[in-house]
Structure 1
Amino acid sequence: MEQFDIYNSRKLKNGELGVRGTPLKNGQYRYVVRVIIFNLKGDKVLIQQRQASKSSWPNFWDFTAAGGLLAGESLAEGAGRELFEETGIVYDFSETPSRMTVRFYEGWSEIFLIQRDIEINNLKLQNSEVQAAKWVSEPELLKLINTGKFIPFHYAKNIFDYLRFSGETNFGG
């Protein structure tokens, strides 16, 4: 039974725990972490294809790794755990701030962006969650989005812009 901390609207823990799969009550929120890896050149992003057995967005392409925080876990710990569980990549997020926060119906998604060159063959994909992974360029990502094969995050079409802004490249390399 996977448990997580419940937060109020001001992002403060309320002392209660939620259970994965159990809907939250009105005024209760939770955190999800998402890790997006770009290559060092900044011209490709690592994406994964969700398993057909997933209850939400089966077979859709998604960014590198994501999942809900566990009870007592920090954002950095959750990002590291999810990245390792889904891809086998070890990364210490303790000195890496999240790059953006996105509100969703049950809470907040904290998004971490890093740059690393990783060989697809070296990934250890979590079979229960991920069926494939690949590097894609911005045009390739846009094609997946526009053909309805990528989860329709409102920021997905512009994710490469975060690398193009002055001073924003090579973070967490």
Structure 2
Amino acid sequence: MEFWDVYDINRNKTNRKALRGENLKSDDFHLVVHACIFNSNGDMLIQQRQSFKEGWANMWDLTVGGSALVGETSQLAVQRELYEELGIDMDFHKIRPHLTINFEKGFDDVYLIEKEINLDTLNLQFDEVQNVRWESKEKILTMIKNSNFIPYHESLINLLFDIRKQYGAIKIK
């Protein structure tokens, strides 16, 4: 069983928790995190979800993502997700998300990381991930068009690649 902290609309914890899979009340929200790892060639590490995974089975996705568990900060949640799904051990205590995307029932913190990763050293979580690889922005956009990648807005993929080396939305030369 997985429990989440429940937040209000202003992202304050309510001191209540929710069981994953239960419907949240209309004014309740939860925290989700994503990490996108980019290499020095500008490619993103992507993962293919397991064939038996509920929701988006066999689809390719961003590096990692998942819900924060009770008591976790955004940083602890993304650190746990990276380690659980891919075996990547990183300290996020001094890293903040590059952006937060509000969705109907929560907040999605997105971390953009520049790191060289040898794919042969990864420890893929069997219940979640069947494959990983590096891909360019253009290839990911093609995969979205071909329904092989979770159908993120193309503008989001462009933004992730565009701001991966900086915080903020103003282009730094």
- Superposition TM-score, scaled by structure 2 size: 0.91
Q: Is the 8 A contact 2:48 2:60 kept in 1?
A: yes
Aligned twin of 2:83: 84
Measured in 1, the distance between the counterparts of 2:136 and 2:112 equals 16
Which residue in the other structure is 2:29 paired with? 29
| Maintained 8 Å contact 1:34/1:67 | yes
> Distance between the aligned counterparts of 1:158 and 1:4, measured in 2?
28
Report if the CA contact (8 A) 2:144-2:152 is conserved: no
Residue pair 2:85, 2:129 contacting (<8 A) in 1 also: yes
How far apart are the structure 1 equivalents of 2:77 and 2:126?
19
In the alignment, which residue of structure 2 is the partner of 1:170? none
Opposite residue 134 of structure 1, the aligned amino acid is: R
CA distance in 1, matches of 2:96, 2:21: 28
**Aligned partner of residue 71 in structure 2, secondary structure:** coil
Alignment partner of 1:166 is 2:172: yes
SS at match of 2:164: helix
Equivalences, count: 166
Task: Give unmatched runs, 5+ long, in structure 2.
Answer: 166-170
What code does the residue aligned with 1:35 have? Answer: A
- Cα RMSD of the aligned pairs, angstroms, is 1.3
1:66 to partner: Cα distance? 0.7
Percent identical among aligned pairs is 37
Q: TM-score, normalised by structure 1?
A: 0.91
Query: How far, CA to CA, are the matches of 2:96 and 2:141 in structure 1?
Result: 26
Q: Which residue of 1 aligns with 2:12?
A: 12
Secondary structure of the structure 2 residue equivalent to 1:27:
coil
